Structure 1
Amino acid sequence: MKIETRTIALVGSNYEIGAEMGRKMASMPSLKKLQAAGLRELDNAEVKKAAALFDRWCPGLNEELQGFVEAIGLPLAQVVYYGMTYLRPNCSQIAVLPSMTKSGRPLLARNYEFSHEAEDFTLVKTSVTGKYTHLGTSVLQFGRDDGFNECGLAVTVTSCGFPVGPLQYMRKPKVVGLQFWAVVRTLLENCRDVNEALAFMADMPIAYNLNLMLLDKAGNVALVETLDGQRATKRIGAEGDEAYLCTTNHPVLPEMISYEPRAMRHSVQRYKWIRQRLDGADDITSEDLKAMLLAKYPDGLCCYFFNEFFGTTKSMVIDPACGTLELCWGGRRDNGWHKYNIQEPLNPEAKEIEISFDQFNPEIAVYIPLDTTVKS
């Protein structure tokens, strides 16, 4: 199946960027799905609560949403509901310290598994007036699910346990708070390094259960896990014994496993596979990480179960010290790896890629205990 991918550069105020995003992305599959879905709108009280949350933790997002909805002609209440609902990614991420890499620079690698119908397939360079420029992929147009900024802070995320949201099949949120796309973007726009990011989000209400990975160009790494309002953080750096952190789609920090003691078999398998390849390794290169990302499950991290929201839509290796991001769409090597530098202009372009579909085996989604399978 053929898919069109895009690169977009956005510059200006939040309102100007929102309007431009709406005009440029009106034909995207995820937006068409929204328009056809007939989603309910939030009531006035819910819209006010969401707006207050965004004003406190994501300043400028309300203005961007306003520009966006005016450009595409949809009610704001419907777009906000959409942004807080249709998210259930299954992903993998690996942060590697300089002591473990051949280049002596920290690296952050990630796969993102989702539905081809809901993925934006868009790389965006965003320069909001008064905020840090960042480069990453968009989710639901105005959100970001990964990326790094001009200061050298990189952020990626995976789901931690079963996805949280208002739909019937989803886990009900235990706190009023932000979805992951808003957390990732606000950190990229407002924080220079891991220390600033941790301080910024210390009191941030996060509704989504996530594994948030932070890495900066100095080689500081932090993993923040949230589960039903509970939170734990682990940091590693040059002074410690550990040289990397990784997650798939379950908690890995010991204090969090008691809140979610089971995980889908595929999540445990992918996590163990990463550990088997990186424990004791050294001289890791970006090519090594790219090979891991595109190796096919179960002996790898790449999956083609797009109809089950478990297809590799994108693979990425970020080198924040060099200011580069390497991106491969669709989990296929023949789609090509493309390198982008945050200091260089991002030329708008559209490229066609191929994605493949595999038969899904429900056994890989069976829940199994974590207490005997997860090594912290």
Structure 2
Amino acid sequence: MSVKTAVYRHVVTEGTHYEVGRALGACFSQNRELIDFLTSPFMGAAPLKPEAAERAMEQFEQYCPGLNQEIRGFADETGVPAENIVFYYSYVQPAGYCSQAAVSTGTGSGSRTYHMRTYDFGWEDAPYNQLLLSTTRVKGKPAHTGFALQLFGRYDGMNEEGLCITTTSGRIRPALSETGFVFPGVARAVLDSCATALEAASLLRSMPISDFRNFLISDRHGCMALVETAGSSKDIEYLGAATADSHKLAVSANHYTLSAMQPHNLQIMPNSLARARLMQHSLSQVTDPQEIIAVMKQLTGNSFPQGISCHHYSEGLGTLWSMICDNAARELHVCFGSPQLNPWRTFGCSNPPGISEYYAKLPDEPSCPDFWRD
């Protein structure tokens, strides 16, 4: 087994969208490798034509207003053309594997919601893998904390309204051919503009999405929504708050579960089914709400198949981070790297502006022979 030490960063910015962009530019202006990455065609794609960039900006302004100003601020601070920034490339993104689940218990003022996820991918070096937790406080919008993709998009996150969104790939490495948002723009739009799972579900229903992705959303009131997308095909399951004598549970791995999405399950990895079943079984057995976080940490801390943590980094499926959101407390519990070797840390949305660094160990192990079997 080989062990790599990875550097994770937590960046905190605040102000208007434009000021946040300039602050990001000031933080990373000396990182020429990152600047070159952010302003180059993504993964060998053709340069974005001016009319295509304009259409992308128009759609961002419609569904995530202000984000264009954030990108403009970054561009002005670093001296690069805003229309060249790779975040506007909407068709090719890192897939990742991931597992996610949300549980709500109790009613009224006593309701609690807990939302967990692991993000699993390979250990590609920066700038492709930025390992950046971002807290953003934009004037007039809910502050939020989540892992950033290409600085401006989000893999996941929680906002100060107690709303959490996480994602998993619905199909591994699909061919994206439709016009629409991919998950980083979707997650960022939700965190910036929604306070409840119902609002987020309504936003996703209206958004053009090109991604093959599962979005799990929860709020502090105990409501949840599972949104499964395969290009322009999408289905939404909305779960209201738990009742006094039961709790609500939603789980998602790397396949589709809603009935309308079954034709898009062209291939399902057995490990995806196993992870979903394990989360369903483990979390459905919890009767004491006080034990939910402990069970979630146990799930993320144990290696597959006893848990959902994976250490196959060189094969493209290793746990890069885990997170558990306590929606009512507005607390985000984060473990950088594998929970087996690294501590859990707690974040909110009120840290002072600046950058902090954290070091985490990633232990690489080979998978078993049947792990990738179709």
- Normalised by the size of structure 2, how large is the TM-score? 0.87
Alignment map for 1:8-27 (pairs within 5 Å): 8-25=11-28, 27=31
Instruction: Give the number of aligned pairs.
Output: 358
Instruction: Write the distance in 2 (CA, Å) between the matches of 1:347 and 1:83.
Output: 29
The answer (yes or no) to whether the contact 1:34–1:82 under 8 Å persists in 2 is no
2:218 aligned to which of 215, 225, 228: 215
Q: 1:34 to 1:52 in 2, by over 3 A?
A: closer
1:230 paired with 2:230, answer no
Instruction: Write the distance in 2 (CA, Å) between the matches of 1:124 and 1:172.
Output: 27
Instruction: Write the distance in 1 (CA, Å) between the matches of 2:296 and 2:35.
Output: 32
> 2:187 — aligned with what?
184
1:183-217 alpha-carbon deviations (Å, 9 max, x no partner):
11111111111122122232111111111111111
> 2:280 — aligned with what?
275
* Partner amino acid, structure 1, of 2:256: P
Instruction: Write the distance in 2 (CA, Å) between the matches of 1:253 and 1:133.
Output: 32
> 2:261 — aligned with what?
256
Q: 1:347 to 1:67 in 2, by over 3 A?
A: closer
1:66 paired with 2:76, answer no
SS of the residue aligned with 1:333? Answer: coil
SS of the residue aligned with 1:258? Answer: helix
RMSD over aligned Cα, in angstroms?
2.6
The answer (yes or no) to whether the contact 1:90–1:310 under 8 Å persists in 2 is yes
Deviation at 1:266, TM superposition (A): 1.9
Instruction: Write the distance in 2 (CA, Å) between the matches of 1:203 and 1:313.
Output: 31
1:49 paired with 2:55, answer yes
Instruction: Write the distance in 2 (CA, Å) between the matches of 1:74 and 1:235.
Output: 42
> 2:252 — aligned with what?
247
The answer (yes or no) to whether the contact 1:43–1:77 under 8 Å persists in 2 is no
1:203-243 alpha-carbon deviations (Å, 9 max, x no partner):
11111111111111110111111113111111223249662
The answer (yes or no) to whether the contact 1:328–1:337 under 8 Å persists in 2 is yes
> 1:77 — aligned with what?
84
The answer (yes or no) to whether the contact 2:331–2:346 under 8 Å persists in 1 is yes
* Partner amino acid, structure 2, of 1:338: R
Instruction: Write the distance in 1 (CA, Å) between the matches of 2:200 and 2:38.
Output: 32
* Partner amino acid, structure 1, of 2:274: Q
Deviation at 1:154, TM superposition (A): 1.0
Instruction: Write the distance in 2 (CA, Å) between the matches of 1:260 and 1:252.
Output: 9
The answer (yes or no) to whether the contact 2:38–2:150 under 8 Å persists in 1 is no
1:158 paired with 2:168, answer yes
1:139 aligned to which of 149, 163, 170: 149
> 1:304 — aligned with what?
311
SS of the residue aligned with 1:130? Answer: coil
2:363 aligned to which of 334, 337, 356: 356
* Partner amino acid, structure 1, of 2:63: W
1:204 paired with 2:210, answer no
Deviation at 1:155, TM superposition (A): 0.9
2:96 aligned to which of 89, 103, 116: 89
Deviation larger for 223-232 or 116-125: 116-125
The answer (yes or no) to whether the contact 1:83–1:140 under 8 Å persists in 2 is no
* Partner amino acid, structure 1, of 2:228: E
* Partner amino acid, structure 2, of 1:232: D
The answer (yes or no) to whether the contact 1:232–1:253 under 8 Å persists in 2 is yes
Instruction: Write the distance in 1 (CA, Å) between the matches of 2:343 and 2:79.
Output: 36
Instruction: Write the distance in 2 (CA, Å) between the matches of 1:33 and 1:255.
Output: 38
Deviation larger for 343-352 or 324-333: 343-352
Could you tell me which runs of 5 or more consecutive residues in structure 1 were left unpaired when the two chains were aligned: 164-169, 368-376
Q: 1:108 to 1:5 in 2, by over 3 A?
A: same
Deviation at 1:262, TM superposition (A): 2.8
Q: 1:272 to 1:78 in 2, by over 3 A?
A: same
> 1:374 — aligned with what?
none
1:250-277 alpha-carbon deviations (Å, 9 max, x no partner):
0011221122243122211211222232
1:114 paired with 2:114, answer no
Deviation at 1:25, TM superposition (A): 3.5
Q: 1:162 to 1:30 in 2, by over 3 A?
A: farther
The answer (yes or no) to whether the contact 1:107–1:286 under 8 Å persists in 2 is yes
Instruction: Write the distance in 2 (CA, Å) between the matches of 1:363 and 1:81.
Output: 38
Deviation at 1:38, TM superposition (A): 6.2
SS of the residue aligned with 1:317? Answer: strand
Deviation larger for 37-46 or 148-157: 37-46
Instruction: Write the distance in 1 (CA, Å) between the matches of 2:259 and 2:266.
Output: 10
Q: 1:83 to 1:317 in 2, by over 3 A?
A: same
Could you tell me which runs of 5 or more consecutive residues in structure 2 were left unpaired when the two chains were aligned: none
Identical-pair percentage = 28
> 2:372 — aligned with what?
365
Deviation at 1:364, TM superposition (A): 2.4
> 2:140 — aligned with what?
130
